[in-house]
Structure 1
Amino acid sequence: MCEALKNKYQLFEEIGRGQFGTIFRCFHPISNEFYACKIIDKRLLADSTDRECLENESKYMTLLSPHPNIVRIFDVFENEDFLSMVIELCEPNTLFDRIVNRPLPEREAASIAKQLLEAIVHSHRLGVAHRDIKPDNVLFDSRNNLKLADFGSAEWFGDGRNMSGVVGTPYYVAPEVLMGRDYNEKVDVWSCGVILYIMLAGIPPFYGDSASEIFESVLRANLRFPSRLFRSISPTAKDLLRKMISRDPSRRLSAEQALRHPWFLSGGVATDQT
């Protein structure tokens, strides 16, 4: 652990654990505020890819902070063995915990999707694609504001370059990523669309019994709206889903276009953040 970290913050109980690091609740006596401290043991990083993800997370979170819908980073400490990031303290339950086996009303799904798209639009305007948007990486603060987290797989495209490399999570990864082609930032819109589908239907649009079967289903991209699940879902919501989960990236909405879709403006759907 970095001495500079211990000199500035008081560490308390463990609140999370990952493959390479541990998250603690911490306190800053001068500001009288609590934060989360993610301490990563660099000795556990297996290869250059892991080290690159570690560098990306702090670099891109710093670039994108502050934004009301992105987890904010406040301090970074590093020595030979550890990298520590002091970040915004969020609630323990993720979006995954909220939606597992439970569809949400359109009003609630719209509020969450709007905040997630606000985070994506901000990232894309600054030339950063997240590339691993999934419910596990969507957090909430104590006021129930959405916070997009985990930028370890993020990539820079701000100079107009396309991206490459298979990254992401089976249910949420865009088909062009799996095809091994170059792709653009609209892979994030696809992932957001899949999350919206799950929020409304309670199940993913593409699924299988194994990762390979899920990938095959994603590549087919046969988007359906089973009547038993979508009977009460508005036509406007389904129109937005079709345009976000479009197999052809050139036909897929950008994050800004998705945010301007009539579903977010339609009567009876609350989209204001609280």
Structure 2
Amino acid sequence: MFQNSPMMYDWWNDTRPKQPTIGVLSPWGAYFNHIGNELLHLKITSSTVSSGCSSPLHHSSARSVGNSLSNGSVVSTTSSDGDVQLSNKENSNDKSVGDKNGNTTNKAAAEPAVSEEPPVRVRASHREKLSDTEVLDQLREIVNPCNPLGKYEMKKQIGVGASGTVFVAHVAGSSDVVAVKRMAFKTQPKKEMLLTEIKVMKQYRHPNLVNYIESYLVDADDLWVVMDYLEGGNLTDVVVKTELDEGQIAAVLQECLKALHFLHRHSIVHRDIKSDNVLLGMNGEVKLTDMGFCAQIQPGSKRDTVVGTPYWMSPEILNKKQYNYKVDIWSLGIMALEMIDGEPPYLRETPLKAIYLIAQNGKPEIKQRDRLSSEFNNFLDRCLVVDPDNRADTTELLAHPFLKKAKPLSSLVPYIRAVREK
């Protein structure tokens, strides 16, 4: 899991098929464009046949390229913001003129018709990506200017990945234990995403979020990020190696919904909900992590960037439609299926086929529907509504009858221990 995020830490080896790493030259970006172009072609063909005539086609060039994300997630820079159409005002002051016989003729009709220029379509402007210097300047405003070596005593390494190394550390003069991630900032390929995650973690604190403690930038390159340490690892370990009952699943979902309700109330969309991003404490604590893909949106507005991990993505994202916080609800429903089956739908399919199936089929099959309670089935149905306008929100789900089945978090402890001892 550690390699999944600039801020994540982990120490487990997932036995499931590895999620794809999306590179600039990988087929992901081309695939998104191909699907979009094919759907557009079908629409155009249908329109042409039905009308019995052909007309010039306006087909925007495909420019979406999947950016490489170390956690197997996909990002597209294509924007579907509406274009602004500009047109000239028509002159409504037509005047009549008389001929030599005294007959009046409309001036506009008498003069040769002048063909109007087509309206100019102006593409909406987008926020420019921050330069490395700008990211560094903003980071310096956040970090503690002191040297952390005197405050934190590194005990052991618990994770290593492309973005850095994670240690368990003791706070000098106390019994507190924290997680410290050290990164060579100058070599980070996604500096702005890292900055976003630190900003979100620093500003928004909640019992069900892995909370940021502080950060340091030593010699302008050695970045330390200090955060909560959860010894139990992540939910994926438990999902893959054990089978939770409905009461335990309800307990996990309830804690995640508390975190999502907090984020959504502050207009934050997580955009990467999955078992890998749920960390567990040895006392049964459940906390969401990985804020790198978080986005803040104005109430009532939507976004259109393709972000997340493919198997957990909602249909509206994969179909390149504008979306809002309801994408987190879909992903939560997929994570619930993950806890039932040990993996998300389509994980055994190739990644490209999985994306196609989600985009085209929408709601996945609930394989064990007959074994689940009616409350759990209804909970899943409310999460996995294809139309986001009709999909449940966190307020509805927190009051859902299924969550009344939630067992105490202590019921998770034997399962967490069983996984940690293997």
* Shift in Å, 1:3: 6.5
- The answer to whether the 8 A contact 2:207-2:287 is kept is yes
For 2:293, what is the secondary structure of its paired residue? coil
Say which of 119, 132, 148 aligns to 1:5.
148
Match of 2:362 in 1: 221
Counting only pairs closer than 5 Å after superposition, residues 52-201 of structure 1 correspond to structure 2 as 52-65=192-205, 67-79=206-218, 80-100=220-240, 102-201=242-341
- The 1:70–1:166 alpha-carbon spacing in structure 2 relative to 1, beyond 3 Å, is same
2-structure distance, mates of 1:216, 1:102:
30
- The answer to whether the 8 A contact 1:90-1:142 is kept is yes
TM-score (norm 2): 0.59
Say which of 249, 254, 258 aligns to 2:393.
254
Give CA deviations for 1:98-129 in whole Å, capped at 9, x if unaligned: 01164421011111111111111111112211
* Shift in Å, 1:231: 2.9
1-structure distance, mates of 2:222, 2:320:
34
Which runs of no fewer than 5 residues in structure 2 stay unpaired?
1-144, 411-422
Deviates more, 1:242-251 or 1:13-22: 13-22
- The answer to whether the 8 A contact 1:72-1:88 is kept is yes
Structure index of larger Rg: 2
- The 1:194–1:38 alpha-carbon spacing in structure 2 relative to 1, beyond 3 Å, is same
For 1:142, what is the secondary structure of its paired residue? coil
For 2:192, what is the secondary structure of its paired residue? helix
2-structure distance, mates of 1:96, 1:64:
25
Match of 1:40 in 2: 183
Give CA deviations for 1:183-216 in whole Å, capped at 9, x if unaligned: 1011111111101112123342344521111111
- The answer to whether the 8 A contact 1:115-1:273 is kept is no
- The answer to whether the 8 A contact 1:26-1:36 is kept is yes
Deviates more, 1:2-11 or 1:86-95: 2-11
Q: Partner amino acid for 2:210?
A: V
* Shift in Å, 1:55: 0.6
- The answer to whether the 8 A contact 1:114-1:271 is kept is no
1-structure distance, mates of 2:301, 2:225:
29
For 2:198, what is the secondary structure of its paired residue? helix
2-structure distance, mates of 1:128, 1:83:
25
Say which of 373, 378, 384 aligns to 1:245.
384
- The 1:202–1:25 alpha-carbon spacing in structure 2 relative to 1, beyond 3 Å, is closer
1-structure distance, mates of 2:408, 2:307:
32
- The answer to whether the 8 A contact 1:200-1:233 is kept is no
1-structure distance, mates of 2:347, 2:238:
20
TM-score (norm 1): 0.90
Say which of 335, 345, 356 aligns to 1:205.
345
Give CA deviations for 1:153-176 in whole Å, capped at 9, x if unaligned: 111114543222111111111111
- The 1:134–1:121 alpha-carbon spacing in structure 2 relative to 1, beyond 3 Å, is same
* Shift in Å, 1:18: 2.8
Say which of 263, 266, 270 aligns to 2:406.
270
- The 1:162–1:82 alpha-carbon spacing in structure 2 relative to 1, beyond 3 Å, is farther
- Paired positions, count: 264
For 2:356, what is the secondary structure of its paired residue? helix
* Shift in Å, 1:221: 1.4
2-structure distance, mates of 1:108, 1:83:
38
- The 1:159–1:252 alpha-carbon spacing in structure 2 relative to 1, beyond 3 Å, is closer
